[in-house]
Amino acid sequence: MSQPLPETAAARRPLLEVEDLRVRFSRRGQPPTTAVDGVSFSVDAGEVVGLVGESGCGKSVTSLAVMGLLPERGTQVSGAVRFDGTDLLTLSPGRLAARRGKDLAMVFQDPMTSLNPVLTLGRQLTEVLKAHTDLDRAARRAEALDLLGRVGIPDPRRRLGEYPHQLSGGMRQRVLIAVALACSPRLIIADEPTTALDVTIQAQVLDLLTTLVRESGTAMVLITHDLGVVAGTCDRVNVLYAGRVVESASRHDLFARPRHRYTSGLLAAVPRVDAPEGSPLQPVPGSVRDRLEWDAGCAFLPRCGRGDDACRTGGILLAPTDADRARHAGRPGHPDHEARCVHPAGATT
Amino acid sequence: MSALDALAPPPAPTAEPTGEAGLGPWAAAWRRLRRNPSGIVGAVIVALFVLVAVLAPLLAPYEPATGEWFGEVTPTSVPGPSPEHLLGLDSFGSDLLTQLLYGARSSLVIGVVSTAVGLAVGAVLGILAGGLGGWVDTVVMRVVDILLSIPSLLLAVSVAAVLGRGQWSIMLAISAAQVPIFARLLRASLLAQRGQDYVVALRSLGLRHRRIVVGHMLPNSLGPVLVQATLVLATAVIEVAALSFLGLGAADPAVAEWGRMLVTAQDRLEQAPQLALYPGLAIAVTALGFTLLGEALREALDPRSDR
């Protein structure tokens, strides 16, 4: 159905390569739902890549599919998730479990519910070390102390014996970050790591996460609906819409020259401090539910101001726009700014 | 699934952020328990019951079931309270108080042992069903359903018929009746945990399924089971009495037993009502104690009861 995508960095093998990932949920008596509809993206070692989109676009399902955490029953996953060359989707559950936590780890959205309420933080921190390392008890404890210190938790020695409910949300998210980093994974998937936090804490936690990731050379997939978060942290950004990547670009290119109409709509919707007082917000009209099937054209068409009949044919490719090809002319390779749009923004000059 | 599945247990102690900062979830529950008056009453009754049972040889003024004063019992009268016999004699001429104190022993032993066995077997079945799911779950739960469909009294009678009368038959019958309760409760409790975020988070860390079930989901599921065990103890005490009342208990008259005391009291109900009154009271108060304690535990372990 979807053609192979033009390779942007053919020379080196990316750390994580998601190719044509599809996830369908079927429930008895209901038509199946396609949550992820051919998502492809890649993450190089040490790179921070954003997956951006509004609720229901398939961000979280993509991350769960990469980690192999989707429920088996009623879920069909196809495509490939290559981590360092190994397709994680074909690994046995046992082998996949052995890599989870060790090679790739995840930071979840809600720190209030992602820790076990009846066990001490110390137990929860040392447990992952016990599962993946040969450290003895004392060494695990020392490591746990060190981790808590690294994520900026004051008085870690006391905290080890405490329970999750004794910590604030921000502190708990720090603990979850510590747990995810415990075995020095090469890739961390952070699924809206700051959404559940207080705005004042969001920046701190995000800052901590990116600093730790950069320091240790860990790659990160940052899933968010917040373009502000993307602007501050990501190297590359993939914008998802209705289960597909609609635009993929470096952070700079994305903000400077959004190509897909959805991306430009999102950027226009961000409230600006320097806007004249009283000027209305510019939301993207409609909701994700008003969508076309990708096979019938552009899923964003019903909400797009610029669409016409040309958008009603299936198989629109994620490809560099003519404008970007022109900008790229004279340099080797392909431009790394791609959009899945028939009428990209900034094309008609 | 049968209708019993609808009786899902209250959520385990998921320790919401409380005013009791500085306490673990169990410590906080313990504190709530101590603040509950009816829980304290229940705990005191249970403690007394256990003390009496354990210390019966020290507390009792005489040896049990001696029939020493049989001569004083006539076909028409049983001696009532006197300075030597505070509660009087029983119809076999033994000291009634002594019989009552020793009776606590068999109730406690049979009640606790059968509940412990019922809990252990039920817990294993529940963990298998709730932890593994799939066909194991189906098989285990159908077995439990079958067990549940046999009336416990009928089961007790059949067990006694096979094994002969006695404490062992009673224990076996009572625990067999309890197994399905605990199995279902723990299974439902574990299933409720399965979708929790922390379980997904643990899986994302690559922990083995067994480790997650036993090390994480089980401790979160124990609250309702603990409550149920206390409540079931109350029923067990009553059932012990009921089964011995029906003549399925120990055949040895030397073993004092509240239920059998009631049987012998029947014939002399008019002339000596105290023979039925005291063991009846003992049974009722003991059961009440366990029930109060169990209800207080339920409240203490329920995070919603936080005030």
Q: Which of A62-66, A95-99, B6-10, B220-224 is the least confident region?
A: B6-10
Residue of A110, A117, A179 with shortest CB distance to B25: A117
- Separation of alpha carbons B292 and B281, rounded Å: 16
Question: Which tens digits make up the pLDDT trace of A35-78?
Answer: 899 899 999 998 999 999 888 888 889 999 999 988 888 899 99
Q: Over pLDDT 90: what percentage of chain B?
A: 25
- Separation of alpha carbons B277 and A46, rounded Å: 80
- Summary mean pLDDT of chain B: 82
Question: Which tens digits make up the pLDDT trace of B90-137?
Answer: 777 788 888 888 888 888 888 899 999 999 999 999 999 988 888 999
- Binned at pLDDT 50, 70 and 90, residue B9 comes out as very low
Chain A residues whose CB is inside 8 A of the B203 CB are 69, 97, 100
Instruction: Report how many Cβ contacts below 8 Å link chain A to chain B.
Output: 90
Tell whether A253 is covered by a domain: yes
Token pair 């060790």: residue: A102
User: What is the model's pLDDT at position B251?
Assistant: 66
Q: Is residue A349 predicted with pLDDT exceeding 70?
A: no
Domains annotated for chain B, with CATH where assigned, are: 23-305 (1.10.3720.10)
Q: Is residue B88 predicted with pLDDT exceeding 80?
A: no
User: What is the model's pLDDT at position A10?
Assistant: 44
In order of A209, A292, B70, B179, the CA distances from A52 in angstroms are 18, 20, 91, 51
The closest of B99, B142, B111, B137 to B255, measured between CA atoms, is B99
Q: Is residue A153 predicted with pLDDT exceeding 60?
A: yes
Tell whether A176 is covered by a domain: no
A97 to chain B: closest CA residue: B206
- Binned at pLDDT 50, 70 and 90, residue B271 comes out as confident
Asked if the C-beta of B138 comes within 8 angstroms of chain A's C-beta atoms, the answer is no
User: What is the model's pLDDT at position A129?
Assistant: 92
Question: Which tens digits make up the pLDDT trace of A184-234?
Answer: 999 999 998 888 888 888 888 888 999 998 888 899 999 998 888 888 889
Residue of B206, B211, B216 with shortest CB distance to A100: B206
Check: CB of residue B149 under 8 Å from CB of residue B214: no
Q: Is residue B233 predicted with pLDDT exceeding 50?
A: yes
Question: Most A CBs within 10 Å: which of B16, B196, B205, as the mutation test of the A interface?
Answer: B205
* Domain housing A312: 235-271+282-349
pTM value?
A: 0.79
Tally of domains within chain A: 1
ipTM for the predicted complex: 0.84
In order of A31, A154, A173, B21, B161, the CA distances from B15 in angstroms are 39, 23, 17, 11, 48
Tell whether A347 is covered by a domain: yes
- Separation of alpha carbons A16 and A95, rounded Å: 17
Mean pLDDT of B155-172: 81
- Separation of alpha carbons A98 and B187, rounded Å: 27
Question: Which tens digits make up the pLDDT trace of A259-299?
Answer: 999 998 888 888 878 878 888 888 888 877 778 888 888 98
Q: Is residue B206 predicted with pLDDT exceeding 70?
A: yes
Tell whether A36 is covered by a domain: no
Q: Which of A87-96, A285-294, B286-295 is the least confident region?
A: A285-294
User: What is the model's pLDDT at position B29?
Assistant: 82
Check: CB of residue A88 under 8 Å from CB of residue A99: yes
